[in-house]
Amino acid sequence: MIDSGAVACEVKRLTSLAARRGLWSESTNGRAMLKSIKGRLALIAVLAGLCGWYLYSNGLKLGLDLQGGMHLVLEVDDAEGTLTPEAKADAIDRALRIIRTRIDEFGVEEPLIQKVGTERIIVELAGIRDEDRAKGIIQQTAFLEWKLVHPAAELENVLPRLDRAIVAAVGPEAVRKVAVADTGRPKSIEELLFEPTRGGADTAAAAVTDTAMKAAPETRDTIAALRPLTALLNQGDSEGTFLVAEEDVDMVRGYLALPDVQRILPRDIELHWEAEPVGRGARTYRRLFVLEREPFLTGDMLENAVAGRDPQFNQAQVQFTLTRRGGRIFEDVTAQHIGDFIAIVLDGEVTSAPVVRDRIGARGQIEMGQAPMEEARDLALVLRAGALPAPLKVMEQRSVGPSLGRDSIQQGRIAGIVGLTLVLLIMMLYYRMAGVLSVLALGVYTMLLLGGLAAFNATLTVPGIAGIILSIGMAVDANVLIFERIREELAAGRATRTAVDLGFENAMSAIVDSNLTTLITALILFQFGTGPVRGFAVTLSLGIIASFFSAIFVTRTLFLIYLQRRSAAEPISI
């Protein structure tokens, strides 16, 4: 038998406690009502409105598995085997920081850039459209040097010796084999040197070196009469340059790569090709620069680089600013070499070689001719980020098409709708009116979760969708705990409002324990996990916070609204 006096005392005690906390007050007509219901509703409305605004303005950012993109596996290019394992590991660590800076400036949202093991880097760029451009920005070494241009006479003086070394490297066996074609016509030196292999200058040079080791120089005059190096290097159009016909560039590269040729070249000079060809009449040439071997300044002293256009010729250029120390060095060198040429060398190729008209301080520009502005912006970007410590080669490249993302979204949408519908039906059928209130609370939870993802610019992935579904289950589980505690209090003879209050109070510890332990696990996954695991951890963490708020605050607010229109003794359907 229920003691009505005890129930009344219990209600009075809970009402007094709530009044002290600002939750209850007595109206003028003596009926107990929730004074803070309007405040609660205002708070819920503000949070839901903010989340809706973030969701509308920022939208949900989709990951690589949902919207497609590019997946790269990079490794330090050490074909010669000169790097130790420790040096490789250090190069990977430095390259990781530089690539992350480049990608951030490139503007890709939420890229995945991480080290795998000690020798590889994984780069995932979601939503990327121009994959070749992104790949070029990532791989470009961007090693910048400033070198003085030497007079071309320093190379001209040794050209006869270079020709003799080239003839010696070819040898009579190669001449007897390929000097005369089937038609009886003597073959050119290019055919002679490069017909056995078309793999490029390095491969060709290796083939020539191999031939030289097997043959004695007995027919030098015959070979030299075909096309010697002196015939391939035309007089340059500026100080310290030669012009080489574009079709002869590979041949000259092969000549210059020969070990005997390298030994004859003066020790204080180094030969560099210009990055872009130039037109002279009806033919296209490429400049070969004679430069000082050691640079007087490198990109390590670069402070900033910005793409722009030359106001006089409307050509693309990159304006750079040096550090204070770099500016002093640049100023001293230019003051001593007025009238000389200074070559700006990027990754072994000359981008421009302006003449020094006056002392130059910490500012200058790299002329890019007719190159598009996009290329100038990319160059400025990689220069700002710094040079890679070593070249990187692509070990694996995958392009994830958007169709895969659409399929994943569609399948996830179907799974979510089916699962959520079943859960909501079971809740409403089993808990009746209380289940309806929990469904309304889950609607608020969904808005909070999606808005939170948009507010933090989090990327939604397929594992992230799994985290959302799991957090929905936890939100439902919290409501189940509360409803079962309310049922226990009602079975014990408590009044309706008392049972509701005690149900929320008794379920609190279990809800806090389960949510807190899951949140700690999610934070650990985020700290130590990889990209997909971190995506799961982010959505799970936000989902836990949103589910806790919806179960404890939103559901209770809805209960208070529901109960204030009923008498204290009237039972509820739960």
Do 288 and 325 reside in the same domain of the chain?
A: yes
Among the three residues 264, 288, 309, which one is the final residue of a domain in this structure? Answer: 264
Residue 531: which CATH number? 1.20.1640.10
Question: Which residue, 354, 343, 211, 201, is CA-closest to 272?
Answer: 343
165 and 281: one domain?
Answer: no
Beta bridge partners of residue 278, listed in sequence order: 285
The answer on 332 and 218 residing in a single domain is no
Asked whether residue 438 is assigned to any structural domain, the reply reads yes
Residue 379 resides in a domain: no
Show pLDDT as tens, one digit a residue, over the chain (574 residues): 334 344 345 445 544 544 444 444 443 333 333 447 888 888 889 999 999 898 888 877 777 667 778 888 888 887 777 778 888 888 888 888 888 887 877 766 667 788 887 788 888 887 777 778 888 888 877 788 999 999 999 899 999 898 888 877 765 444 444 333 333 444 444 444 444 333 333 443 444 444 444 433 444 444 434 467 888 899 888 889 999 999 989 888 888 888 888 999 998 999 999 988 888 888 899 999 999 999 999 888 888 888 888 887 788 888 888 899 999 998 999 899 998 999 989 888 998 888 888 887 888 887 777 778 888 888 888 788 777 777 888 888 877 665 555 676 677 678 778 877 888 888 888 888 888 888 899 889 989 998 988 888 777 777 888 888 888 888 888 889 999 998 888 888 888 888 888 889 888 888 998 889 989 998 898 887 766 777 788 888 998 999 899 888 998 888 888 888 776 556 676 7
Please report whether residue 500 resides in a domain: yes
Please give the pLDDT value at position 274.
92
302 and 206 within one domain? no
The answer on 51 and 91 residing in a single domain is: no
Contact predicate 20/35, CB 8 Å: no
**DSSP-assigned beta bridge partners for residue 120:** 75, 116
**What domain range includes position 200?**
159-232+248-264
Token reading at 205: 């040079």
Q: Is residue 381 domain-resident?
A: no
**Cα dihedral sign for 77, 83, 85, 90?**
negative
In a domain, 382, yes or no: no
Whether residue 387 is contained in a domain is answered as no
Residue 241 lies in a domain: no
Distance CA 507, CA 71 (A): 46
CATH number at 345 reads 3.30.1360.200
Residue 241 sits at φ, ψ, to 5 deg, of -130, 155
- Together in a domain, 439 and 552: yes
Same-domain check for residues 260 and 295? no
The 3-state DSSP class for residue 522 equals helix
Query: Based on the structure, what is the number of domains in the chain?
Result: 4
- Same domain? 253 vs 302: no
CA atoms within 13 A on the CB side of 6: 6
CA–CA distance, 38 with 527 (Å, rounded to integer): 40
CATH of the domain at 109: 3.30.70.3400
Dist CA 156 CA 553 (whole Å): 86
Interatomic CA distance for residues 273 and 351, integer angstroms = 9
Question: What is the structure's pLDDT at 314?
Answer: 83
Same structural domain, 539 and 447:
yes
Query: 34 and 11 share a domain?
Result: yes
DSSP letter for 274, please. Answer: B
Whether 569 maps to a domain, the answer reads no
Are 205 and 107 contained in the same domain? no
Considering the domain architecture, whether residues 86 and 51 belong to the same structural domain is answered as no
Tell me whether residue 213 is exposed, middle or buried, using C-beta atoms within 10 angstroms of its C-beta: 0 to 12, 13 to 18, 19 or more: exposed
**What pLDDT shows up at residue 420?**
78
Give, rounded to a whole angstrom, the gap between the first and last alpha carbons of the chain.
22
The pLDDT value given to residue 271 = 95
- Choosing from 398, 416, 434, the residue where a domain stops is 398
